[in-house]
A = this chain, B = another copy of it.
Amino acid sequence: MAIDSRNFQAPKGTRDFYPQDMAVRRYIENVWRTTSINHGFDEVEGPMFEDLDLYTHKSGPGIVSELFQVFSGKDKAEIEQIQKTGQAPFALRPEFTPTLARMVAAKAAELPRPIKWFAIPQHFRAERPQRGRLREFLQWNVDFIGDDSPKADAEVIATAVVALKSLGLGPNSVRVKVSHRHAVAALLRKAGVIEENLQVAMELLDRRNRMSALDVQSHASTIGLDIHSFDRMAQDAVLLRGSTLGGVKILRNQVHELVGDIYLVLDLKEELRTLGVADWCDWDFSIVRGLAYYTGTVFEIHEASGAERAIAGGGRYDNLIESFGGPKLPACGFGMGDVVLGLVLKDNLLLNPEKCTKRPHAFVISAGQDAADAELPGLVASLRRAGFHVRHSYKASRDIGKQLAEARKCFAIAAVILGDKLEDRLVEFKDLDAQSQETIAIDAISVKLKEVIRRNDDSK
C-alpha cells in the first residue's frame, strides 16, 4: 500500500507534552490536588466548551474576540448561524468561574454549605502567544462559596500558599499581594475620581503595567484621576506591610484615615496570621484585578522580583452566583495557571526529573541464561498484577552492569537479577538506594519490595 505521508504540527500556542513534560505537569497537578483536598475542598469539573452566551453574559460582548469558538460539523443550522452572524453557538472555556457559577446555581438548594470546590481545568484564549501566556493552559481554581467572612478569604489564600510551599517555593521567592476593592475605591475617590468613573479607573490600574507612563497619565486625566497622588497614598497604605499584631491598633487608625472603614482588611491580616501564612503576604492597594465582578478582597501572587506575570490572582465575588440564576451567595476564590508557575519553578531549579518521575519499584534483569530469559516476562507480569511498578531492559545486551545503569537512570528503587541460582528458585535482590544486595527466594520478591518501598516512603 502506498503511504500518503504528511507532516503536521501542534496548533500555535498549544503544547505537546512528551513524557518528561507530562511528568512535570502531573507533578504540579498532584501538588495542587493534594493541597486542595487537604484543605477540605472537593474536586469538580465541567464541559470543555460552553454556550458562548455564558461568557458574554459575564464579561460583555467584547470577550468574543478573545475566545475560540466551537460548532458541530453535523448541524447545518450551526454552520448557517456562523455564516450569517460570524458567531458560533459554543466557546472553549477561557476561565472556570462561569461554569462554576452555573453549576452552583443549578443545584444551590441541595448542595451542603459552605461549598468548597476546586478544579484543574484546561482553558483556551485566542491571544497572541508570548512568555507566560499560551492559547491553551491549565488553571487551578479554588473557590469557597457561602461564607462572607475574612476567614474564607484567608483560607483560600492559605491554600495557594501551602501549594507553593509544597512545590519548594518560599516567602523570599514569591509574595502574595493583598488588596481590597473598597480600599482601592476610597483611594481613587481621594485622588479625584467620581463614582461613575471608578470601574474605568480600576481597569486602568489593572492594565497600567502593560502601558506607557504617558498613556497611563493621559487616560488618568480624562477621568479626573491624579495618578501621582493615588500612588503616594497607595504607597503610604502599603506601610501596613510590615505590621506586627501589636501594631494593628495604630494601623487601624492610619488605615481609617487613609481609606475609610476597611476593618475587613485588618481582620483578614489576623486570619492570615492564624493560618500561618501572614509572612508570605503584603498589602498592596494598587492591586485591583481586571474583572468587573470582584466585590471585596482581591489578591495576586507574584514572583518576588516581579519579573514574570502574576502566578495567581483571585478575590471575592459576592454577586456572581446570583447573576447566573442562583441565590445570593458570597464567594471567593483564585486561579493559578501552569505556564507562569512552570517558569518560576524552573527558574528556581525546583523541577528536577527524579522529583517529578514515578520511580519504578523494581527493575528486573536477566543475566542472560535461557532459563532467566524465559522466566522474566512471567515474573514481570505477576509483579505488575500484584500492583508493583516494574520495568526491564528492552536492549539486546544481557550485561548486568549495563542493565543496572538503566535501572538507576529511571530511578528504580530495587533491582531483581535472574541468574544461575534460578534453578533453586533464588534471585539477587538489590536495594538501589541502600546499595545493599542479598539472595532471596523468587516467591519472596513481593514482601521484600514492600519493605523497601516503605523505607523509601518513610525517608521522604
Which A residues contact B (CB, under 8 angstroms)?
1, 3-11, 14-19, 22-23, 25-26, 34, 37-40, 42-51, 53-54, 57, 64-75, 79, 82-83, 86-88, 90-92, 98-99, 102-103, 105-107, 113-114, 117, 122, 124, 126-127, 136, 147, 151, 158, 162, 165-166, 271, 274-276, 319, 322-325, 358, 360, 377-378, 381-382, 384-385, 387-392, 394
Contacts and interface: CB of A to CB of B under 8 A. Distances in A.
B17 A46 contact: yes
Residue from A48, A122, A162 with most neighbouring chain B CB atoms (10 Å)? A48
A388 B34 CA distance: 9
A44 B66 contact: no
Given A38-B384, A136-B48, A325 B7 contact: yes
- How many copies of this protein are present in the complex? 2
Given A19-B42, A50-B8, A377 B68 contact: no
Contact of A378 (B103, B274, B322): B274
A73 B79 contact: no
A64 to B, nearest CB: 5
Contacts of A18: 44, 103, 107
A400 to B, nearest CB: 20
Contact of A68 (B73, B107, B275, B384): B73
Nearest to A103: B16
A49 B22 contact: no
Closest 5 pairs between A and B when the two form their complex, measured CB to CB: A14-B47, A19-B42, A7-B325, A72-B126, A17-B45
Contact of A44 (B22, B44, B50): B22
17 contacts: A5-B324, A7-B325, A8-B98, A9-B106, A11-B90, A16-B45, A17-B45, A34-B387, A39-B384, A40-B389, A40-B390, A69-B72, A83-B83, A158-B384, A271-B377, A275-B378, A276-B381
Q: Is the interface of A mostly helix, strand, loop or mixed?
A: mixed
Contact of A16 (B46, B70, B390): B46
Nearest to A71: B69
Contact of A70 (B26, B70, B107): B70
A64 B72 CA distance: 9
A381 B37 contact: no
A92 B74 CA distance: 13
Contacts of A122: 48
B66 A325 contact: no
Contacts of A42: 19, 22-23
Contacts of A38: 384, 387-390
Contacts of A147: 394
